Amino acid sequence: IACCADLNYTDPLTTLNYTTDYTWFSDKRSCRKIPETELRNRSNENVRLFDIDEGKRCYDLPTIKNGVYLIRGTFPFDSLNSSFNASIGVTQLGAVRSPRLQDLEIEGVFRATKDYIDFCLLKGEVYPFISQLELRPSPEEYLQDFPTSVLKLISRNNLGDTKDDIRFPVDQSDRIWKASSISSSAVPLSSNVSNVDLNANVTPPLTVLQTALTDPERLEFIHTDLETEDYGYRVFLYFLELDRTLQAGQRVFDIYVNSEIKKESFDVLAGGSNYRYDVLDISASGSLNVTLVKASKSEFGPLLNAYEILQVRPWIEETNQTDVGVIQKMREELLLQNSGNRALESWSGDPCILLPWKGIACDGSNGSSVITKLDLSSSNLKGLIPSSIAEMTNLETLNISHNSFDGSVPSFPLSSLLISVDLSYNDLMGKLPESIVKLPHLKSLYFGCNEHMSPEDPANMNSSLINTDYGRCKGKESRFGQVIVIGAITCGSLLITLAFGVLFVCRYRQKLIPWEGFAGKKYPMETNIIFSLPSKDDFFIKSVSIQAFTLEYIEVATERYKTLIGEGGFGSVYRGTLNDGQEVAVKVRSSTSTQ
């Protein structure tokens, strides 16, 4: 895949075909051109920048289940030296941090567990970006004894060759063998030897094996840029004897990894072939040192043609594939009527693991994650409710309120685990399916404020149901009408007291204003005046009906205290609506209140 390329093309150097990524991400506004000074013989001059505040963006690539694959992402040099993360499925490969003045390639080998694989970029310090993505079949020997692991490439080196990297078509698996620098003591060897018994699929191409490094005493290869956490590593060492005059026993050496001997008296020619490879499985953190030391009775020093170091990462179990299939199907149904919806477009990769999708919550079940909550409220969605929503067998909470969904409500199977359903404030029509009303685990159901939907007879509701609005709109028509406050008596008393205070101050100030403050006729000052304030009994006070409400009724009226409209020293105030449509404010006293 060539990200943001205008057209599909063939790379003239490798003869590989590349396709654009507009099938996955159609927005050209996220494309950037790479300056010519930084192209460095790269075939694709574009990069895709994912301008996201959170979450991840994933490319789903087709695979054959149980097949072994190499996947490689190429990231252009980033002068800011900032980082983000990449993953194969939900198994993280670590941070993408470009080294100085170089492009970075993140590569892994894995066994496919289904008919596709996600390669994901996760938001980090900066917006994630990518230039190329490649998927290739890979030799199975890499995962021998590690069938459920991901191998992250640390280094792949072609020794003795200081010129160009070697890849496809020379390497049919399209592994990139990096030309290596030569230490002061090592001696490069090369040969056109061709009679080689290449007895393993993992073997490098002959062109790579025709060069090598040797030293009279020892060869040492040091990697100090490993992650500080303790990981397992697989070290693949490839040997081809390039000196046709040597016999078995003449070139013998010991192999050490981090000063620990792994192979003693290693002889390439001991088995009768001039080719041999070995795999060392070790643990390391921070650094790794591979050293080949000449044996005491050997005539010649050690030789090595090529080597690979791969980090072993455990394969992380993905979300239940039934749930994944259903939520992906639902996403496609919603996008038909909601193209460009940011919430839906942010749904990429695994819905639960490594940054869950917005509006989704998951729990563990039988060793994998399942989707238990779907909250798409106020997501600016329209069209029909996807029928696939009823196929989410582990769903417990469903909230699609405050959208513009129309049509009828789909039926749900009695096996559904739904506990809470909120369909309110949409444009749904018809009658609520009986299958929803009779769901065995349902505890709350709201479907009011759907103008063309029929209310439900309370007698038809499940007896175990705790909270429901019975499909009534609860004050939509009288939204701008009178607001009745449950604490009306307290508020009324405060208003009356305030009125008394204002009246008293005004009258008292009028009597005390000095003569000089007035112009015109002067009136005599009255002395020894006595004010008589009327009692509350002198005022006409409209009777207020005090009505008692149960806690259960209050929770229904406030939709379980859904809308907070104010807070004070005595507690929080929530908006509610009575069954007759009157809107009320409900104060919930705080634990420290003495009111």
Phi, psi of 483 (to 5 degrees): -105, 120
Q: Is 152 a known ligand-binding residue?
A: no
Question: Is the distance from CB of 75 to CB of 104 less than 8 angstroms?
Answer: yes
- Helix ranges, 362-439 (H): 434-437
Closest CA to 99 of 79, 85, 84: 79
Q: Dihedral through CA 410, CA 411, CA 412, CA 413, nearest 10?
A: -150
- The half-sphere exposure of 506 on its side-chain side, counting CA atoms within 13 A, is 7
Question: Is the distance from CB of 213 to CB of 239 less than 8 angstroms?
Answer: no
The DSSP H or E segment spanning 267 is strand 260-267
Question: Strands of 218-223's sheet, edge to edge?
Answer: 218-223, 288-294, 252-257, 260-267
Phi, psi of 462 (to 5 degrees): -60, 135
564 contact partners, CB below 8 Å, separation of at least 6: 572, 573, 574, 575
Question: Is the distance from CB of 133 to CB of 59 less than 8 angstroms?
Answer: yes
Give the separation between CA 485 and CA 578, rounded to whole angstroms: 11
For residue 304, give the 3-state DSSP assignment: strand
Question: Strands of 129-130's sheet, edge to edge?
Answer: 31-33, 46-49, 129-130
Give the separation between CA 51 and CA 32, rounded to whole angstroms: 12
State the residue for tokens 């505040």: 53
List Cα–Cα distances, 126 to 31, 53, 487, in angstroms: 16, 9, 51
Annotated binding site for ATP: 587
Which residues are annotated as part of the binding site? 587
